[in-house]
Amino acid sequence: MNAAEQLVSQARHGQFGALLPELLEMAKRPGGPRDQAWEAAAAAIQTLFWQDRFAEAADLAEAIIAQDGPLGGELCDQDVPFRHAFLAAELHAGVPAGPRLLTAAEHIPAGRNLREDLLWLAEQVPGQPPADRPRSGEGELMTQRSALEQLMGHAFQKENGALEPDERLIPLQFFVTGGSYDFDNLSVKDAAVAMQIRGPVAQKIHNAPEGATIRFGTE
């Protein structure tokens, strides 16, 4: 376990706020192991979300991508929470996400996951050029739902404590089927159980038109 992973482990035991300065220092340190830098940055961004410091989270995401993206390390194969930092800054601080997503993508080598993810997401943000979008309105709706779900997850953990690595939040009634965006509609499940629940739902709603009737059953 490297230094960043040790800090993250300690933070998950209720010390996120106390360890934030150390995480930020490690993330912004110009020298040293670069994988530790992005891991510390990811944990710091999550903590800043929980403290409602969304603009700072986006600034940190932008800085670590600009600094380490050209190196082509493991950062270039990540997505969460870096892309969500830009969306959160737009939703909560009014800082447009589209231009920042495109600029950040330029720092990542072609063909890497984070670059492709940032470019795709930039096209889905309202007001950006519609090149290669899904059907009209579909991509934008998917992005808005994803952002809401991510921000809800951060808010839930801020109030109830961080999830364990093998835990996932899952709605009692899925948002896409009309479930409410509130804590009462969220439940903590084992990651494997969550996948078993989400899988059949995803298969049912895939390519279903808006307003379609979806039926579920048990064997």
Assess whether 136 and 216 both reside in one domain: no
Assess whether 120 and 170 both reside in one domain: no
Assess whether 151 and 193 both reside in one domain: no
Assess whether 178 and 82 both reside in one domain: no
Name the pTM for this structure.
0.60
What letters, b where the CB count within 10 A reaches 16 and e where it falls short, cover 82-99? bbbbbbbbbbbeebebbe
> The domain containing residue 45 runs over which residues?
3-157
Residue 209 vs residues 12, 14, 126, 203: alpha-carbon distances, Å = 40, 43, 22, 13
Write out pLDDT tens, residues 117-154. 898 888 777 655 443 434 334 444 455 556 667 666 77
How much is the pLDDT for 137? 45
What letters, b where the CB count within 10 A reaches 16 and e where it falls short, cover 116-143? ebbbbbbbbbeebeeeeeeeeeebbeeb
Question: Domain count of the chain?
Answer: 2
Assess whether 100 and 190 both reside in one domain: no
Assess whether 24 and 61 both reside in one domain: yes
Cα–Cα distance for residue pair 67/107, rounded to 1 Å: 8
Assess whether 126 and 144 both reside in one domain: yes
Write out pLDDT tens, residues 157-197. 767 888 887 888 888 887 666 666 667 788 898 888 878 87
Q: Which of 112, 137, 157 is the last residue of a domain?
A: 157
Q: Which of 133, 157, 181 is the last residue of a domain?
A: 157
Assess whether 202 and 134 both reside in one domain: no
Assess whether 188 and 120 both reside in one domain: no
Cα–Cα distance for residue pair 38/22, rounded to 1 Å: 13
Q: Which of 108, 132, 157 is the last residue of a domain?
A: 157
Assess whether 171 and 200 both reside in one domain: yes
